[in-house]
Structures are given as C-alpha cells and as structure tokens.
A and B are shown apart, each in its own frame.
Chain A
Amino acid sequence: MTWIAVFFLVTGLVFFTGGCVGILRLPDCYTRLHAAGKLDTLGGLMMVSGLALYSILPLTLESVLVGIKLMLIVVFIFLSSPTATHAMVDAGIRAGLEPWSKEKPEETS
C-alpha cells in the first residue's frame, strides 16, 4: 500500500510540474488556462488520493475517518477546479478578450 501511495505522489508531482511549465510558457491566456485547469486538477486529485491511501494504513476508526475526509477533499477538487476554470474562461469571452492565433497581431490593429 505504501508503494502505491508513493507512485500516486510522484505522478501528481509530475502533473504539477507540467502544469507549471504550461503556465509559464504558453502564449495566450486561454492556452495557459487550459494547462492550469487540467493539470492542476489531476495533480491535486492524485496527490490527495495517494495521501489518503497512506493515511488509512493502520486500520483504526480514526484513520478511516481521516481517509473519508481526504476523499471528500478529492471530490471537492474534482468538482470545483473545472468550474473555476470555466468561470474564468467565461469571464474572458464575455469581456471580449481575443484568443491567440498564428497571424501577426499587427495586421488586425
């Protein structure tokens, strides 16, 4: 069980690193939101579920309750993070922020 938890932790860290690289290097606000929304959701989900697998290891009532609460955090991240990303994209579209395209921006202005 411990090695499964370590695998989940390292995979979550890999996803967080990918999200950080995407946030720093992508050219536009929408593409950065794409990277941040997906990879942060999956990274947080995997890391918290790996910690839940580790923390229920001595199987007592207290540790099972702690594991149930950690799974509640997982469900909440799974529901709330895509909603937050969608709200940000919706605000950008309604405020008239143009998506990035490969044409030169000097031609439009």
Chain B
Amino acid sequence: MPAQVLAWAGVGIVAATSTGILLAREWRWHLGLMAAQYLGAAVLASGHWPLGMAAALLVTGWMTIAALGMTLTALPSQIDPTERSWPQGRAFRLFMAGMIFVLAAGLTGRGQSSVAGIGAPAVAGSVLLAGIGFLQLGTSSQITRIIFGLLTVLAGFEVFYAAVEGSILVAGMLSVVILGLGLVGAYLLNASFPEDAA
C-alpha cells in the first residue's frame, strides 16, 4: 500500500510539474519544474526498476537540467519573434493540459489491463508526461521549449518502458540519450546566439 501511495504521489508530481512547465514563461521556472518532474518520473520508475536504476534516471535528468541551466544562465535573455504566432494564452494551454488529463484518465484503465503488472500510476504518469511533452513540441518553436518537450516525452516513455524492460544496458543507453539531448540542446542554444551578443 505505501508503494501505491508513493506511486500516486509520483503521478501528482509529474502532473503538477508538466502542467507548470506548459504554463510558465520564465526559463528559471522551467528548470526547477523539470528537475522536480524527474523526481516524479524516478519515483514512478522505482516501482518497476531497482532503486539504483531509478536513481540513475533521476541523476541523469538533473545533470541534463544542470547543463541546460548553465547554458541559459550564460546567455542574454531574448524572446524568439516567431513565438508570437503560436497559441500563447494560459487559458488555452490549461485547456489543452486538461485534455491530456482526460486522456490519461481514460487510458489508465485500459493500459493497466493490457500490460500485465504495470500498474495504474505508471500508465497515468507516462501518458501525462508524453502528452504534455507533445503539447510543448506542438505549441512552440523555441529551442528551449522543444528540448524540454523532448525530455518530457522521453521521461514519459521511460516511466512506461521501465515497467516492461529491466535491462541495465537499455537503462544506461537511455540515460546517455537523455544526457546527450541535454548537451545538444545546450549546444543549439549557444549556437543560436552570436558570440558578441553573449
């Protein structure tokens, strides 16, 4: 029972943080919420993976956020002019997040019955993360948001995949991919600003 409570707490964390990332406009908030989101994802993954592997997911996520954070701190603030053409209203984003919540609620029961032993929290958490990650990808053209969107989708995938695959090699390679994505994101952010502007 305590494990279930912990798992649902993980769902609560990822629900709150992913929605927060969608609504927040300040990158500092994004970083903090992403870090908390990895905590939620690690809690959900720990239901199926040994604690060490789940901790590796958490540490990798935080290292990725740290790399992005260091890059963003060093860059001048700039608003991407193309961003103005995207739907920006908080009400709209909240509505879309609500749709993902409804989708997650609908899929949780079906996913639980389709995949033996996965558990409702892992299905709910993974659908929420992947759904809101796709929403971020679809509603922004800023590199920061796209990288956060991809990281969110991958976090959702990891939560689900942890329930069906326990290989250390896969977990290790997924960590390398997440860290690599963070580093590539940091590189792209750096490259998008001319050196004299930084």
- A and B are interacting partners: no
User: Residues on B close to A: CB < 8 A?
Assistant: none
